[in-house]
């Protein structure tokens, strides 16, 4: 059983994020889902992104660090899109990280202090034509991470252009891709001791 700290995307802690957490719990894993927005949920990505910018990305990472501080160090850090910021930061910098699941986003490892820690397995998931993932540098960052740490990192690309395709409460949900993403994520979690 893995202990997972899962961070929501820019639209907030939606019912789809909760449903994803439940699917991991249903497979026997402990999942913690902090609310980085203090109760706010947004109808669309643009409104949520504007809210995140207003808070500040550094503040959101700090809120993620505070959530992690309440938990044991031996965590798998997971994040949807915006939630990748605190997840990736913690996976790279908090001692004891057991793994990372980066959904719909990836940041250059250098943004968080250097190379990816080779003892921390990581999966990166995104759609090949997603304007945010493929069009704004995340896919390039994911490929660079895999190239720099091939023994630890895996990149999974899905056909399509949806951004938040694993959140079943949003119109961007893609059941086939989300099912495959979940199966792959569970394989990583099941392999963690």
Cα separation of 13 and 36, whole Å?
8
pTM of the model: 0.96
> Of 28, 37, 9, which Cα lies nearest the Cα of 172?
9
pLDDT greater than 80 at residue 193:
no
26: CB partners within 8 A, 6+ apart? none
CA dist., res. 114 & res. 35, Å (int)? 28
Residue 168 has pLDDT above 80, yes or no: yes
pLDDT at 182: 98
Please give the pLDDT value at position 54. Answer: 92
What pLDDT score was predicted for residue 114? 83
Under CATH, to which class is 3-191 assigned?
A: alpha beta
Q: What is the pLDDT of residues 32-74, one digit of tens each?
A: 999 999 999 999 999 999 999 999 999 999 999 999 999 999 9
Mean pLDDT over residues 157-169, rounded?
A: 97
Average pLDDT, whole number, for the chain? 95
Cα(167)–Cα(18) distance, integer angstroms:
9
Asked if 111 and 128 count as a contact pair (C-beta separation under 8 A), the reply is: no
CA atoms within 13 A on the CB side of 154: 11
> Binning pLDDT at 50, 70 and 90, where does residue 191 land?
very high
Task: Print burial letters for 37-71: b (CB count within 10 Å at least 16), e (below 16).
Answer: beeebbeebeebbebbeeeeeeebbebbeebbeee
**Residue 113: predicted pLDDT:** 84
The per-residue pLDDT for 96 is 95
The region of weakest confidence among 109-113, 129-133, 169-173 is 109-113
* Cα–Cα–Cα angle for 59, 17, 49, rounded to 5 degrees: 40
Residue 185, token pair as written in the block: 């994520």
- The predicted-structure confidence for 111-120, as pLDDT tens digits, reads as follows 998 889 989 9
Instruction: Say whether pLDDT at 142 is over 80.
Output: yes
Per-residue pLDDT at 102: 98
């Amino acid at each position: 059983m893995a202990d997972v700290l899962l961070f929501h995307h820019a639209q907030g802690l939606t019912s789809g994020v909760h449903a994803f957490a439940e699917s991991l719990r249903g497979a026997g894993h402990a999942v913690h889902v902090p609310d980085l927005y203090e109760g706010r949920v947004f109808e669309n990505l643009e409104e949520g992104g504007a809210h995140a910018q207003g808070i500040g990305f550094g503040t959101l990472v700090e809120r993620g660090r505070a959530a992690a501080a309440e938990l044991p160090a031996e965590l798998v850090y997971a994040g949807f899109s915006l939630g990748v910021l605190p997840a990736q930061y913690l996976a790279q910098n908090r001692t004891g990280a057991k793994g990372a699941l980066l959904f719909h986003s990836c940041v250059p490892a250098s943004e968080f202090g250097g190379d990816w820690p080779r003892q921390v397995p990581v999966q990166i998931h995104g759609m090949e034509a997603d304007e945010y993932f493929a069009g704004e540098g995340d896919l390039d960052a994911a490929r660079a991470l895999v190239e720099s740490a091939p023994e630890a990192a895996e990149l999974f690309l899905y056909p399509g252009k949806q951004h938040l395709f694993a959140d079943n409460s949003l119109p961007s949900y893609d059941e086939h891709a989300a099912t495959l993403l979940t199966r792959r994520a569970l394989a990583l979690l099941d392999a963690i001791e």
